[in-house]
């Protein structure tokens, strides 16, 4: 009997020893191994893929969680986390590896909350957007005095100042009218951005992301767009001024979800700074141009915030467990926020999916579009909204919908082809092709 107990004790000890939670800094090879390890432990709900390479040729690996990895299921939203964009801000990288292991383990343990999340959401995790910078920073070690060593990529460029600047256009359009979403890339954008930035732009254009967070360090606060202040420079001086997006209240709520689920962010006093509720509008803190979160909002359907997670950009290994416990609930709750507002399909009369249909909400000057599968996701706070779907060649359809605090409301649109109005229609006697004659296409008159 005591022998059996001893065996159980040893088994327990062994289990403890091989338990996967390892709080250490992961260099590039270690990071790649960890991603594949999680994939091997949870092969049916994960996929590892690369979105491109860094300047020095390191892959930018993403770990995806979904009940159908590699497949977009209509009406299931896509979410992403990006870590370590600044190579010397390393906590996000480690937290995202912890998150990956946590999602895998808890799914296997049958944790209902995680099962529901994975089955209803497609989660993409990019632990390091700047693997080259990280290797430079890690050579210095933790608690290093070189505050900026390893921040930039191998070409010395700050990746969070490297995205095309679309703010200038939106501020003009907000004043004078013009598109309020999906602002186009400049023609020569590829020659103006770094390989890492280009990879991320391709990535966020090829998935219909709805929600995202970008993990940084050096402060403890949840920062929401815009990052670039409306009046960027006054007489040569950089000016900071609260510069809200049309979705300001929603962004504030998303930021607060994180800060209040976080162990101490919401307290506001951190690293010698004070942010009420632990959140801030980016531009009211300090204005920055060509950042990633503004780009997400202005060029895609994705709503991104920036999370500053630690005073020390490179915390010592012994601090990682406490940081994980402080962030775990917040990282999960933030992912769950993608399930709010309205979503649905945009279809034509024959039930064909309509991609790139525009969904506008009256009172919010920022439209979103349906994805390739005809599905759309519009994050909204609880309330009653007038929502219109439009697509070229179709009659717009408007509905009034009340959104509650829980699950998103399903609102499908069936758009009818618009009847050409410009030319008088002449009724043609039915020639036997009953109901099969398509309406004649109207050519615009050339005068």
Counting contacts by CB under 5 A, is residue 93 touching Zn ion?
A: no
Asked if residue 201 lies in contact with residue 215, where contact means CB atoms within 8 angstroms, the answer is no
Number of amino acids touching Zn ion (CB under 5 A) = 3
The CB-nearest residue to Zn ion is: 216
User: Which two three-digit tokens encode residue 430?
Assistant: 């039915």
Q: Using CB under 5 A, which of the segments 88-96, 181-189, 195-203, 353-361 binds Zn ion?
A: 88-96
DSSP, res 348:
E
Cβ contacts of residue 7 below 8 Å, gap of 6+? none
Q: Using CB under 5 A, which of the segments 82-90, 348-356, 379-387, 388-396 binds Zn ion?
A: 82-90
Q: How far is the CB of 139 from Zn ion (least distance, A)?
A: 19
Q: Using CB under 5 A, which of the segments 51-59, 60-68, 79-87, 398-406 binds Zn ion?
A: 79-87
Cis check for the bond before 23: say yes or no (omega within 30 of 0): no
DSSP-assigned beta bridge partners for residue 270? 273
Pick from 25, 26, 80, 86 the residue near Zn ion by CB under 5 A.
Answer: 86
- Rounded distance between C-alpha atoms, residue 129 and residue 54, angstroms: 8
Q: How far is the CB of 154 from Zn ion (least distance, A)?
A: 17
Does the active-site annotation cover 308?
Answer: yes
Asked if residue 208 lies in contact with residue 299, where contact means CB atoms within 8 angstroms, the answer is no
- Rounded distance between C-alpha atoms, residue 163 and residue 125, angstroms: 20
Q: How far is the CB of 216 from Zn ion (least distance, A)?
A: 3
Q: Could you tell me where the beta strands, DSSP code E, fall in 54-208?
A: 59-65, 78-83, 122-126
For residues 211-250, which are near Zn ion according to CB under 5 A? Answer: 216
- The residue from 89, 194, 196, 308 that is catalytic is 308
Residue (215 or 331) nearer to Zn ion, CB: 215
Residue (93 or 232) nearer to Zn ion, CB: 93
Residue (314 or 385) nearer to Zn ion, CB: 314
Strands 59-65 and 46-53: antiparallel
Map residues 316-355 to x or -, x wherever contact with Zn ion holds by CB under 5 A: ----------------------------------------
- Rounded distance between C-alpha atoms, residue 89 and residue 311, angstroms: 10
Asked if residue 61 lies in contact with residue 32, where contact means CB atoms within 8 angstroms, the answer is yes
Q: How far is the CB of 228 from Zn ion (least distance, A)?
A: 16
Q: How far is the CB of 176 from Zn ion (least distance, A)?
A: 33
- Rounded distance between C-alpha atoms, residue 336 and residue 333, angstroms: 5
Residue (172 or 286) nearer to Zn ion, CB: 286
Residue (181 or 216) nearer to Zn ion, CB: 216
Q: How far is the CB of 248 from Zn ion (least distance, A)?
A: 23
Residue (103 or 215) nearer to Zn ion, CB: 215
Asked if residue 227 lies in contact with residue 306, where contact means CB atoms within 8 angstroms, the answer is yes
Residue (133 or 344) nearer to Zn ion, CB: 133
Pick from 64, 76, 78, 89 the residue near Zn ion by CB under 5 A.
Answer: 89
- Rounded distance between C-alpha atoms, residue 222 and residue 302, angstroms: 17
Number of Cβ within 10 Å of residue 410's Cβ equals 11
Asked if residue 340 lies in contact with residue 250, where contact means CB atoms within 8 angstroms, the answer is no
Q: How far is the CB of 336 from Zn ion (least distance, A)?
A: 25
User: Which two three-digit tokens encode residue 441?
Assistant: 């296409």
DSSP-assigned beta bridge partners for residue 81? 125, 213
Interface positions with Zn ion (CB under 5 A): 86, 89, 216
Q: Tell me the catalytic residues.
A: 308
């Amino acid at each position: 009997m005591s022998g059996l107990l001893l065996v159980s004790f040893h088994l327990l000890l062994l289990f403890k020893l091989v338990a996967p939670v390892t709080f250490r800094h992961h260099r590039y090879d270690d990071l790649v191994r960890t991603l594949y390890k999680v994939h091997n432990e949870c092969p049916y709900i994960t996929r590892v893929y690369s979105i491109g390479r860094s300047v020095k040729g390191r892959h930018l690996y993403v770990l995806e969680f979904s009940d159908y990895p590699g497949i977009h299921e209509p009406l299931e939203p896509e979410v992403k986390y990006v870590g370590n964009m600044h190579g010397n801000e390393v906590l996000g990288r480690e937290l995202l590896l912890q998150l990956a292991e946590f999602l895998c383990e808890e799914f296997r343990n049958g944790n209902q909350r995680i099962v529901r999340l994975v089955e209803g959401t497609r989660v993409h995790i990019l632990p390091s957007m700047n693997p080259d910078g990280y290797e430079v920073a890690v050579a210095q070690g933790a608690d290093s005095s070189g505050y900026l060593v390893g921040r930039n990529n191998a070409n010395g460029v700050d990746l969070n100042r490297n995205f095309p600047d679309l703010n200038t256009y939106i501020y003009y359009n907000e004043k004078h009218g013009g598109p309020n979403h999906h602002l186009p890339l400049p023609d020569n954008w590829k020659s103006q951005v770094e390989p890492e930035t280009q990879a991320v732009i391709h990535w966020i254009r090829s998935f219909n992301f709805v929600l995202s967070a970008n993990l940084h360090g050096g402060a403890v606060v949840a920062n929401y767009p815009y990052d670039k202040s409306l009046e960027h420079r006054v007489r040569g001086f950089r000016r900071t001024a609260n510069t809200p997006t049309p979705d300001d209240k929603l962004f504030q709520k998303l930021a607060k979800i994180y800060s209040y689920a976080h162990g101490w962010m919401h307290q506001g006093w951190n690293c010698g700074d004070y942010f009420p509720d632990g959140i801030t509008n980016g531009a009211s803190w300090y204005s920055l141009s060509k950042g990633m979160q503004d780009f997400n909002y202005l060029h895609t359907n994705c709503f991104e915030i920036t999370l500053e997670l630690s005073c020390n950009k490179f915390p010592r290994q012994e601090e990682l467990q406490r940081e994980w416990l402080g962030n775990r609930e917040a990282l999960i709750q933030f992912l769950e926020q993608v399930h709010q507002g309205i979503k649905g399909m945009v279809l034509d009369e024959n039930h064909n999916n309509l991609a790139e249909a525009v969904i506008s909400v009256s009172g919010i000057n920022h439209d979103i579009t349906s994805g390739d599968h005809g599905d759309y996701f519009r994050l909204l706070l609880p309330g009653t909204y007038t929502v219109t779907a439009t697509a070229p060649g179709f009659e717009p359809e408007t509905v009034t919908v009340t959104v509650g605090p829980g699950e998103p409301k399903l609102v499908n649109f069936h758009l009818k082809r618009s009847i050409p109005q410009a030319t008088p229609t002449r009724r043609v006697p039915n020639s036997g092709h009953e109901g099969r004659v398509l309406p004649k296409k109207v050519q615009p008159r050339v005068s």
